[in-house]
Amino acid sequence: MAEIKIQNLYYMLSYAFHALREDGITQISPEDFDHIHDLLSAILAHGISQQLRRGLHRDYVHQEQALSSLRGQLLLSESLKRQTQIRRRLVCCYDEFTEDTPHNRILKCTMALLLHQGELNPKFREALRKLLPYFTHVKDISPSLVRFDTLQYHRSNASYRLLMGVCWLVLEGLLLTTKEGTHQLVSWVQDEPMHRLYERFLLSYYQRHHSRLTPKRSYINWDLEENTASSHLPLMATDVILQNWDKILIIEAKYYSRTMAIHYDKYQYHASNLYQIYTYVKNMDRAKGGNVSGVLLYAKTEEALVPDDMFSMNGNIIRLLTLDLNCPWREITRQLDGLAATLDEPLSKP
């Protein structure tokens, strides 16, 4: 598992969820935290306090309930099925403008989980405890019922993006389910959520500091011969593409517990990663001009041997590099800026 400083995780969250342009997170000093639970709790407490000043987001939520008077649409068949008329009630469905929204339910769930399972400094525990009463009219839900992929954002709830990002990291990255079905928090972030955060951070960093290179995620089309097509070919979705005129750099983020594979007691690069970046580069370089290059950017682990290499593969440059997320932040930004600077250099082969 890659080592990462608490301070650096703070900065990665700031970039990944575009919080550098908001008032909240920039007022929190990352040096104040010794534990990841404290960091995430502080960001949540500060962000929720800011949100409460604006007012908790409210939205129209579909309700279906047996009522003593008609409201909204009458569900006659459902009323007959439940025999609610015996109790002088009718089953109605209606939309209610309420703060009991999915976003607020997730906030309440995450705060409760941190309070009961997190290793919190008393200061941050008290801050979260004081915020919970504001969610009295918000339904309690189990962490297992949270669906981040169904959340929708618009102008009135855009301020929830960072808050939902922190909740996602707590529930997806820190949460473990025991055999008894109970939930507990661990003191580290698991690989898959960190991989997704790492990808998002890299793209956001380049979008903020190297916008001239039009950083983006993109799909690469297969370089097929004319009159050849197939709907069954897999999609080639990149993590980051940088472009300076005709020069293109494809960056694929890799966050693994082990950055090197072992085959017959011999360390090797992950074959699937090399096949992936080579395929991306060659299919994007349709003119065969060598102006497209690729980078596999691994998050550094505690392994003694980590990827650090460069090849010319059939006219294109492929690099394997390692980014140490446990080093000073200025060193991380130096390496990322250095990658962007390669697009200003003339084409060359190692």
- More confident position, 117 or 291: 291
Quickly state the pLDDT bin for 23 (edges 50, 70, 90): very low
Average pLDDT over residues 282-289: 93
Q: Domain spanning 201-344 has what CATH number?
A: 3.40.1350
Average pLDDT over residues 273-293: 95
**What pLDDT does 347 receive?**
63
- Using the predicted structure, report yes or no on whether residue 19 has a pLDDT greater than 80: no
For 20, the token pair is 């550098």
Find, among 308, 290, 288, the residue nearest to 298 by Cα.
308
Across 9-18, 31-40, 85-94, 234-243, the highest mean pLDDT is recorded for 234-243
Quickly state the pLDDT bin for 263 (edges 50, 70, 90): confident
For the chain, helix (H) and strand (E) counts, in that order, are 9, 14
Find, among 88, 65, 94, 69, the residue nearest to 78 by Cα.
65
Task: Write out pLDDT tens, residues 182-216.
Answer: 666 776 677 778 888 899 999 999 999 999 999 99
Average pLDDT over residues 260-288: 92
> How would DSSP label each residue in 212-268?
GG--B--EE---PPTT---TTSPPEE-SEEEEETTEEEEEEEE--S-SSEEETTEEE
- Using the predicted structure, report yes or no on whether residue 273 has a pLDDT greater than 80: yes
**What pLDDT does 175 receive?**
77
Average pLDDT over residues 322-328: 92
Mean of all residue pLDDT scores within the chain: 86
> From CA 340, how far away is CA 206, in angstroms rounded?
8
Residue 161: which residues within 8 A CB-CB, separation 6 or more? 17, 18, 153
The alpha carbon of 338 is separated from its chain's Cα centroid by a whole number of angstroms, namely 24
The alpha carbon of 4 is separated from its chain's Cα centroid by a whole number of angstroms, namely 16
**What pLDDT does 30 receive?**
57
- Domain spans of the chain? 6-58+100-189, 59-98, 201-344
**What pLDDT does 237 receive?**
95
Task: Write out pLDDT tens, residues 136-164.
Answer: 999 999 888 899 988 888 888 888 888 99
- Using the predicted structure, report yes or no on whether residue 68 has a pLDDT greater than 90: no
- Using the predicted structure, report yes or no on whether residue 32 has a pLDDT greater than 80: no
